Structure 1
Amino acid sequence: MKLSIGNIYVKDVVLGEANGFAGGVLTIDKQAAIDYLMGEDDHITSLDIVIAHPGDDTRIVPVIEIVEPRVRTDGRCLFPGVTDELVPAGDGELKAFKGCCITSVGGTYGSFGDGVIDMGGEGAKFTYWSQLINICLVGETDEEFEYHEQQKCNHAMRWAAHRLAEYVGKIATDVEVEDTETYVFDPVLKRSAERNALPNVAIVLQPQSQMEAMGYNDLIYGWDMNHFVPTFVSPTEILDGCLISGSFMPSSSKWATYEMQNFPTIKELFAEDGKTLNFVGVILSNLNVALDQKERSAIMVRNIALNLGVDYAIVTEEGYGNPDADYVRCQVILEDAGIPVVGISNECTGRDGMSQPLVTLDEKMTALVSTGNVSELCELPACKTVIGNLEAMNRDGMSGSWGYDEKLGKSGRDDGSIIMEDNNWFCGDHIAGYSVKTMLEV
């Protein structure tokens, strides 16, 4: 399978009365975009589009989803089973607007899985998103049954982000690209002797799929990952929109759809493919609740890896807590099968950093990459502008903030300053590989 992504670099985004791209400036017809989105989903009651630039004294909260705007040159939809009918993903040509993103924001209500982005100041250091021009889609919906629920599907606003990414991406249809990324995934059984002489490496992805109720989990080709069992997939499928983010999981631990579209660890494996390793693909697994489900998935991952002839594996999870059991068990069963593993995840070591980092550990896990401690406290001054609703931090059970603490008060203070755990940075641990954090050995 061959996937080509032509990159168009965006220097600025402005709102106007016609769509266009010239001189590095992306112009979006604001009213036409809003009319299109509201016509696609009756549950959306109001929408606004606001642009936030890197360095702006702006705080965005509650952030629901982030997507990269793209277009397929063959006319196929960006997200099969979501923005249009089911079609294959993983090959063909795309164009992508780089340097910007579609950011879905709750106009009033937040959720456990929603988070914060600061575009400037000290807070900008905590996420990759502050480096991008955020095309913020701020909306209200009639999903009243979710208003006072900690866990929200945020269905209308999440899918609106995917539709807007496709709408904006179509502006690139006749725009000349500046450079092209090409990813070729050759059939595993039809590779040269030279390739086969290199170590076989696979990456095991564990997207979020814990919720038994539908509408919260990640989707593959529009299908809820709770119904999924471990499967071999081409890495080009992941980069081409077959997998999209859900609403469940502490905010900093999530993979935004943007990260799935650009999965940095997958791209690094492609960069080394045929040089230092033979990249034999993605084993797409899941995260479960019951122990027998966890064990079943681990066994299936092991057997796929053995049948692919995997020599080394990377295992990475979306989330922490209960998913740690899936993450650890998968690594241990691969190690027992003679396949050395590197694990990538964040950790929850408490505000003092002294607690056990994962819910469960095993001495066979000898190579772990940490993308940060979700429990570390962060205190920041007010920003001049808030896009969304700061009160959501206090009211709606967001994963790293609270309405009252006898020592710390509330997370979103009356003067606009905030105190929260790193949990609350939207996809802030960037487990897919964008991590902005480093480790200090003391």
Structure 2
Amino acid sequence: MKLELGNFYVKDILFGEKTFYENGILTINKDEALAIVKDDEHIIEADILIVKPGDNVRLVPVKEAIEPRYRVGGGPLFPGVTGELLQTGNGKTLALKDCSILVVGKHWGGFQDGLIDMSGEGAKYTYFSQLKNIVLVADTDEEFERHEQQKKNRALRWAGMRLAEYIGSCLKDLDYEELETYELNPITKRSSEINNLPSVVFVMQPQSQMEELGYNDLIYGWDANRMVPTFMHPNEILDGAVISGSFMPCSSKWSTYDFQNFPMIKRLYQEHGKTINFLGVIMSNLNVALEQKERSALFVAQIAKSLGADSAIVAEEGYGNPDADFIACIVALENAGIKTVGLTNECTGRDGASQPLVTLDPKADAIVSCGNVSQLIELPPMDTIIGDLESLGRDGLSGGWGVDEILGPSVRKDGSIIMENNSMFCGDQVVGWSTKTMKDF
């Protein structure tokens, strides 16, 4: 499979009479864009705003991030989700870089939603503060889940994907500024030089714990809770086969933008044929029952062994209960003779005294930490709030609270906040964006 990504680098975003891209400037017809958003009758309020790095803006509750793209030759950007099923990862897709679509709740948040600061101390905690963002801020009539801590956010997430398709379509007749090419020969058809290199498989564990449909990450529109581990070409992930769900403390979340640009996959591609033989991706899942966890780990180890993997990298979207899947998978791979490295965040509790992963094993002796979800963060007020700041403390966001007897409320009267890193939108970036480093004491 050969995927070509034709990139266009956005220098600025404006509103205008038509939607088009020219000389680094993306212009959006706001009325047309809102019409696309309101195509779903459940969207009752909506606006589109533009925010840029350095703006004195705080966004909360943030629900999703998506990169605007256009699939050359037609077809949905997210097959099985926004349109009919088709194979991704082969052909050409055009992408607007250095920008994203952010979906923000106008009034209501939930456990899985997060916060982004576009400037100041808070900007360093999330990758999306570095991007020029088209912000869809909206509300729905989904009364059945308005006061639920855990929300599916379906209408808002799908509106964001439709908006990404609409804006991306302005590229369809343009010549790209840069071309990225991703191609892997079939494993049995590779040269002896490549086959003699250490072989590596990447194991992805997207969020799939919820047994009720509608919360989990989707793969070609299929709920990942309903699958067993399977082998996938990495191009499929980079080209829209996977979309983010609506279940996970937000700093642990992998947004759809992350799947579209997965840095770890791209890094493995960079090393392919030089230092490693990149075999591809084993798409696993995260489960609830112990038997389900053990079954998935056995599937992963069998697939990796059958592929001839010498080594593996395992990345989990989440922490807590998913740690059991994560460690079980590492142990199963090590038992199969496959040297394995894990990528995860950790949860030590606010006092730092808790075990960082729920489950540990001596065979899991090579783990990269991407941050502590329990880290307390204090941030000053911002001039502009997009969304509803009160949602951080009112609606059960994973890192916020109403009142703490020691720390007080998450949202203070002057607009300043205190919260756990848990609420930073995609803040830990196990996918590979993170700028965090270890510090010696």
TM-score range, shorter chain: over 0.9
**Over 4 Å off, 4+ runs:** none
Deviations 1:382-429 (A, max 9, x none): 000000000111111000000111121211222111100000000100
SS of 2:188's equivalent?
coil
- C-alpha contact (below 8 Å) 1:352/1:376 kept by paired residues: no
SS of 2:187's equivalent?
coil
- C-alpha contact (below 8 Å) 1:429/1:436 kept by paired residues: no
Quote the RMSD (CA, aligned, Å): 0.8
Query: What's 1:284 paired with?
Result: 283
- C-alpha contact (below 8 Å) 1:5/1:93 kept by paired residues: yes
How many Å apart are 1:261 and its aligned residue?
0.4
How many Å apart are 1:227 and its aligned residue?
0.4
Q: For 1:99, give the aligned amino acid.
A: D
Give the whole-Å Cα distance in 2 for the aligned partners of 1:350 and 1:326: 21
Give the whole-Å Cα distance in 1 for the aligned partners of 2:160 and 2:227: 24
Asked whether 1:6 is paired with 2:6, we answer: yes
Matches within 5 A, 1:129-144: 129-144=128-143
How many Å apart are 1:176 and its aligned residue?
2.2
Query: What's 1:320 paired with?
Result: 319
Matches within 5 A, 1:117-132: 117-132=116-131
Deviations 1:71-100 (A, max 9, x none): 111112110011111111111001110010
Give the whole-Å Cα distance in 1 for the aligned partners of 2:113 and 2:437: 24
How many Å apart are 1:175 and its aligned residue?
2.4
Give the whole-Å Cα distance in 1 for the aligned partners of 2:430 and 2:15: 33
Matches within 5 A, 1:29-44: 29-39=29-39, 41-44=40-43
SS of 1:59's equivalent?
strand
Asked whether 1:147 is paired with 2:146, we answer: yes
How many Å apart are 1:131 and its aligned residue?
0.3
- How many aligned residue pairs are there? 441
- C-alpha contact (below 8 Å) 1:400/1:421 kept by paired residues: yes
- C-alpha contact (below 8 Å) 2:64/2:104 kept by paired residues: yes
SS of 1:81's equivalent?
coil
Give the whole-Å Cα distance in 1 for the aligned partners of 2:351 and 2:6: 45
Structure 1 gaps of 5+ residues are none
- C-alpha contact (below 8 Å) 1:68/1:96 kept by paired residues: yes
Give the whole-Å Cα distance in 2 for the aligned partners of 1:70 and 1:53: 19
Query: What's 2:385 paired with?
Result: 386
Query: What's 2:372 paired with?
Result: 373
Deviations 1:307-334 (A, max 9, x none): 0000000000000000000000000111
Give the whole-Å Cα distance in 1 for the aligned partners of 2:51 and 2:31: 18
Give the whole-Å Cα distance in 1 for the aligned partners of 2:343 and 2:140: 36
Matches within 5 A, 1:4-403: 4-39=4-39, 41-403=40-402
Q: Which moved more, 1:251-260 or 1:10-19?
A: 10-19
SS of 1:189's equivalent?
helix
State the identity %: 61
Deviations 1:23-55 (A, max 9, x none): 21100111101112212x111111100111000
How many Å apart are 1:135 and its aligned residue?
0.5
- C-alpha contact (below 8 Å) 1:294/1:326 kept by paired residues: yes
How many Å apart are 1:160 and its aligned residue?
0.9
Give the whole-Å Cα distance in 1 for the aligned partners of 2:187 and 2:361: 32
Give the whole-Å Cα distance in 1 for the aligned partners of 2:41 and 2:97: 31
Give the whole-Å Cα distance in 1 for the aligned partners of 2:227 and 2:89: 19
- C-alpha contact (below 8 Å) 1:80/1:86 kept by paired residues: yes
How many Å apart are 1:437 and its aligned residue?
1.2
How many Å apart are 1:354 and its aligned residue?
3.7
- C-alpha contact (below 8 Å) 1:127/1:436 kept by paired residues: no
SS of 1:435's equivalent?
coil
Structure 2 gaps of 5+ residues are none
How many Å apart are 1:348 and its aligned residue?
0.4
Give the whole-Å Cα distance in 2 for the aligned partners of 1:375 and 1:333: 29
How many Å apart are 1:356 and its aligned residue?
1.3
- C-alpha contact (below 8 Å) 1:126/1:428 kept by paired residues: yes
Q: Which moved more, 1:407-416 or 1:239-248?
A: 407-416
- C-alpha contact (below 8 Å) 2:36/2:162 kept by paired residues: no
Give the whole-Å Cα distance in 2 for the aligned partners of 1:150 and 1:43: 19
